[in-house]
Amino acid sequence: MTATSTRLPALYIPHGGGPCFFMEPAFGPKDLWDRMAAYLRGLEAQVGERPKAIVVISAHWETRRPTVNANPAPPMLFDYYGFPEHTYHLSYPAPGSPALAKRVGELLGKAGIATDSDVSRGFDHGVFVPFLLIYPKADIPIVQLSLQSDLNPAAHIAIGRALAPLRDEGVLIVGSGMSYHNLQAMRSRGGGEASSAFDAWLTQAVEDADIERRARILADWENAPHARECHPQSEHLVPLFVAVGAAGADLGRRTYADKLGSFALSGFRFG
């Protein structure tokens, strides 16, 4: 891919719960997801320049080693359960890009990171649900990259660093997850104070002006306040580490801050 005049940012976004933006909330007030939806709808204007393509790292795809989706026309992968029937008929017919998938594999290979390719996988809900709001016309090619199943923070920061040149080639890099993800606590309505403490730590770490220290602190996230209480499993946090790596020397800043009930949530932008 060729360089462009504008470097696109790297983002870490919340993608909600299942198809939450397209149904009545299963719990809580009717406007429970409205502020998150408004944030996602505003990202097109916030990014500014229209991307040539998008690389998405979703919390909902893990493989032994990083795998690139090279399907030229990914279908929907309805990887959620127990939701209203109409949510299984959502459609996001954005094209894939075998050429960009190859470029992703090449960049990772140059960094000594072995990859696999998948030519049949569809878009999981960590992709199509938020992007139905972000770029609703579904006319920008999207390539999804899996998480490495060990969920190693430093390894995912390294993956992001390898992908950083894409930002100068018109490619938007997006980590799609949730900065707080303890479903059991959310269902029991407990843990709000823990989420606020972790969110404050996470924001301070992301916004650290010393980029090397930023990477070290985030790679050691398990020592953050209430870390495992907020992320019993870390797959919804790890996409952030890819965005951090892709940021290079660019500073991070919180662009979304909200509470889902009592649970603090954030979204971040680099560059």
pLDDT tens by residue, 156-166 = 999 999 999 99
- State the angle between helix axes of 153-163 and 238-247 in degrees (0 to 180), rounded to the nearest 10: 40
To the nearest whole percent, how much of the chain has pLDDT over 90?
Answer: 91
Q: Is residue 26 part of a domain?
A: yes
pLDDT of residue 192: 81
To the nearest whole percent, how much of the chain has pLDDT over 70?
Answer: 97
Q: Is residue 220 part of a domain?
A: yes
Q: What mean pLDDT comes out for the span 97-101? A: 98
- Sorting pLDDT into bands at 50, 70 and 90, what band is 191? low
pLDDT of residue 6: 87
Residue 189: pLDDT over 70: no
pLDDT of residue 26: 80
pLDDT, tens digit, for every residue of 23-71? 998 878 899 999 999 999 999 999 999 999 999 999 999 999 999 999 9
Q: Is residue 5 part of a domain?
A: no
pLDDT of residue 57: 98
Q: Is residue 58 part of a domain?
A: yes
- What pTM was estimated for this model as a whole? 0.96
Mean of per-residue pLDDT scores for the chain: 95
Which one, of 160, 104, 95, lies nearest residue 131 by Cα? 95
Q: Is residue 69 part of a domain?
A: yes
CATH number at residue 186: 3.40.830.10
pLDDT, tens digit, for every residue of 193-227? 999 999 999 999 999 999 999 999 999 999 999 99
The Cα–Cα gap between 228 and 221 comes to: 9
pLDDT of residue 5: 65
pLDDT of residue 184: 79
User: Based on the structure, what is the number of domains in the chain?
Assistant: 1
Q: What domain range is 262 assigned to?
A: 10-270
Residue 4: pLDDT over 80: no
Identify the weakest region by mean pLDDT among 24-38, 98-112, 132-146. Answer: 24-38
The Cα–Cα gap between 270 and 5 comes to: 17
Q: Is residue 4 part of a domain?
A: no
Q: Is residue 3 part of a domain?
A: no
Q: Is residue 122 part of a domain?
A: yes
Residue 128: pLDDT over 70: yes
